[in-house]
Structure 1
């Protein structure tokens, strides 16, 4: 894992500005460290010779004060940068998920909660403390070693030889830490997913008397164990880094002390080198100590950037204004992490106004076919054309204006049933909403208030709400294609017949994924999909 992901620097102007300020303040800090060390060495040397030192203590006090101000400014700049970067990334992730040009599966809610919650909180340690210290570790030791080499070459050689040992042990610690941090992050995601799943099904679980305290406790205990293991390793690695730096400074001190006693090195130069030597190791040592604090933030950064790095639709061609023939040829698609094909369609042609039923075994690619037609997925091979234009060349947002979609698990928003039916159709009259609901067999009061989620209505009622949305969309817009995924599952014979009749009478091109024999029988043609 790289200390600084180049993608973050390219994507965030705040990070670039923050790094520039860190370099500038790091240079000033290095100059102040060298200046203070020289003044202290000069004071000690003059006191031994009995010379006056009236102004030097004032200069030392002023330098220490200025160094404190620089450290405070560095902290303020870093904390503000961390806050801005978190806000930018959160906004970018939300915009990306809502971007109609996005291609690929959406992440699960559990993963998003973990990333945008605890993952983003870890940015305070990563952007706010680790990255500024990384700049100091690159600037201060180099400046200190250069000044020491000008004063005493042997001490500089000792520091140059021993300083990489800290880097070597940091690398070894990083190799050990990586697996622990990845396991802790995986435990955090499992905890978030488990908790989200429990909340989604809480009503059903309570109805059947299933208690979830034990499951949540077990998942939480695994997260706690992984966290404590990571902390134990962090403390042990800090001890190792402290020991190495202490021994290295001791080597410099012994060398300088012996040469002062033998008269080969001036007292002023010896004091100057002794004061500067620890400063060569301190920034690097602090990077090692902050590494554990930053690892979770770096991991979250990589996850977020991976989430944002995906294909996008680049097409700009306007879709056909009316019903057109849809042709799928040689379509092949494999989802990441799977070796088997997710979709395999050699030839499929859907004529305008046709009612087509898509059948096949579960996992055969039926829902994936709808995702491809909606532009949520991009084929690995083959093509989809609408009229004479490839789907990949169409303006995807404009294309979706021609489509009414009924997913397998429709969602509700907080409000009335009428508002849920009219979702996305501002200005729809009460008569239009009632007509669409009636044709979809939604024999419920449209003034009934429902909450966000899926617990206020049965599965069949939610599907009828989604069908009513599709009918209203067809009647009020230029939508001419209806894509439905198991729209009649959970419906009785009467409501199923009502829904199928409304779809046939809509005049739109209908492509329905189904396992129901009644729906298959109502179709003009049946196509089997088997990946």
Structure 2
């Protein structure tokens, strides 16, 4: 495989632009490679000197002994430089991976669906992305595939840029004919690298995509294992996992076959090229037109002109998956601040591509503000019906508005629009402050916007830690008394604040997770400065007593509340009810 086949060139410019570690690494690599090139020439000259003096001279003389000591020092120097190059490469890989992981996490923490902090823009994480097996694979074993890129490919690439040039010049000075031969045949290695690379480039990327699909499928099966078990369908998934795994195996073996073939092709071309030089030297040595010293020097040095290029081709398959991973990473990092773009692995994150965070320095306060949706609709590519039909509604300050309608009519999508997770396909969201100033949500800083929202998603997120720690995500400075009051008003007096919470809330029931999320939202209103509450089915799965407590807490919050509701009692408490129509079903 070959770097020349890449549309971006052998070195990904995005890594160079965004990482100081890569820039420093390239500078150090060039210095080390230059020193190695000098030692390669010195080693060839010393070997030729020792052999020619030993056979043509008086045997092991003082000069030969000195040359042998110098040769040992040169070999030790090359080994030391190789070790230094390996150390520098490993450290650069660690620093780059750490930086990319931090940047991806920071990008995803900019606010997204599935937040673990109800309404907290700075602590929210996308359920569509962060819980996606694609991102788990990307940030875990995916980024680890950059190790071969730095440890094997880039060092050889730098050597390929310096060593052949120094070798060709040295050979040309010693023997112009051999220098011309090497200079003419070297491009053949590059040509074959390009030809092989065009064939193998897509295969390696397909192998990475196959691995991502396998992780997707396995994660989806695990997520739905309980449902599959209940309905007796779990055994049928074995075949599906086996088929996806077999596809991954075929892609892996195909990539390995092509990698071995590419190495064979490059070795063959390099061997023929060196043979041409060797035949020319042998004929001239026999005819007496060349000294043994010059012949040995050129013959020993000639393979080193091709070796770095062969190694680049041989190691490029080690780096190709790392480059495919880098594409996925930068697809997230190059999205506007606070949101991830479409994830290339085939699963869309659901983030809009527009409205960069920080588009407006003047951010309104939502206390006393009126929020209006004007003919807002949302459509996704590939769907024949909109996720949310054109809808208009007004959220009056201090009032509770209930959003009703059958499943699939777009209630949760409307909440996502208000949270800034989804950009409207048509229409707009208008904010009119208490002093009469009007703003468009598309022009606001989404981080500041979400800082004034308290959010309870349909599937509340929970972090490993304690109950109190999860409640405080909405207001980190809240006291223990505030936490206890929020839990009590959310109908969760039985949830002890210091109770341990396992990862993902595995040791909490669905009702306990929902009441914890409601308590988090209430605390955010009381101590976190939120002026608007957005709740998606906050009483689903709760007993009548807990439901009544939550309803009372929402009425007493005295902020603007939008609640997605199916239960009659929750709808009856609302000041305004907005029904959404059933989605249209298009029969083709």
Cα 1:433–1:240 shift into 2, 3 Å: same
1:174 maps to 2:205: no
User: Please, what is the CA RMSD of the aligned residues?
Assistant: 3.4
Deviations 1:221-243 (A, max 9, x none): 44334323322222222122211
From the superposition, tell whether residues 160 and 513 of structure 1 become closer, same or farther in structure 2 (CA, over 3 Å).
farther
Please, which of 15, 21, 24 is the counterpart of residue 17 of structure 1? Answer: 24
8 Å Cα contact 1:8/1:305 also seen in 2: no
2: distance between equivalents of 1:408 and 1:207?
23
Q: Is the contact between residue 402 and residue 564 of structure 2 (CA under 8 Å) also seen in structure 1?
A: yes
8 A contact 2:366–2:532 mirrored in 1: no
| Residue ranges of structure 1 left out of the alignment (5+ in a row) | none
Give me the whole-angstrom Cα distance separating, in 1, the residues matched to 2:72 and 2:78. 10
- Tell me the residue number matched to 1:407: 457
| Contact preservation (8 Å) 1:145, 1:280 | yes
What pairs up with 1:273-312 in 2 under 5 angstroms? 273-312=298-337
Deviation at 1:284, TM superposition (A): 0.4
Whether 1:352 and 2:401 are equivalent positions in the alignment is no
Aligned to 1:466: 517
Identify if the C-alpha distance between structure 1 residues 321 and 509 changes in structure 2 by more than 3 Å, giving closer, same or farther: closer
Q: 1:133 to 1:230 in 2, by over 3 A?
A: same
Contact kept in structure 1, 2:379 and 2:387, CA below 8 Å: yes
Per-residue displacement from partner, 1:232-272 (whole Å, max 9, x unpaired)? Answer: 22222212221111111111212232233344444433332
* Residues 378-415 of structure 1: per-residue CA shift (max 9 Å, x gap): 45665433332333444433332321101010023345
SS at match of 1:322: coil
Of 55-64 and 455-464, more deviation after overlay is shown by 455-464
Q: Distance in 2 between matches of 1:130 and 1:317?
A: 48
Mapped partners of 2:158, 2:425: distance in 1:
43
Pair 84,445 (structure 1): closer, same or farther in 2 beyond 3 Å: closer
Task: Identify the residue that residue 56 of structure 1 maps to in structure 2.
Answer: 67
Task: State how far apart, in whole Å, the 2-side matches of 1:161 and 1:336 are.
Answer: 53
Please point out which of 450, 453, 463 is paired with 2:504: 453
Pairing partner for 2:261 from 236, 250, 256: 236
- Runs of at least 5 residues in structure 2 that lack an aligned partner in the other structure: 1-5, 112-120, 338-356, 433-437
Contact 1:486 1:514 in 2 (8 A): yes
Asked if the contact 1:173/1:237 (under 8 Å) is kept, the reply is yes
Mapped partners of 2:172, 2:389: distance in 1: 69
- Say if 2:490 and 2:518, in contact at 8 Å, map to a contact too: yes
Q: What aligned pairs does 1:444-523 form with structure 2 within 5 A after superposition?
A: 444-446=494-496, 449-491=500-542, 496=547, 499-514=550-565, 519-520=570-571, 522-523=573-574
Q: CA shift at 1:334, angstroms? A: 5.6
Task: Give distance in 1, aligned partners of 2:405 and 2:186.
Answer: 65
Equivalent pairs counted in the alignment come to 531
TM-score (structure 1 length as normaliser): 0.87
Offset from partner CA, 1:480-530 (integer Å, 9 cap, x none) = 211122334445667556544432342221223345566555540415387
Which range is displaced more, 133-142 or 174-183? 174-183
| 1:253 is aligned to 2:253 | no
Query: What is the deviation of 1:23?
Result: 0.6
What does residue range 263-282 of structure 1 map to in structure 2 within 5 Å?
263-282=288-307
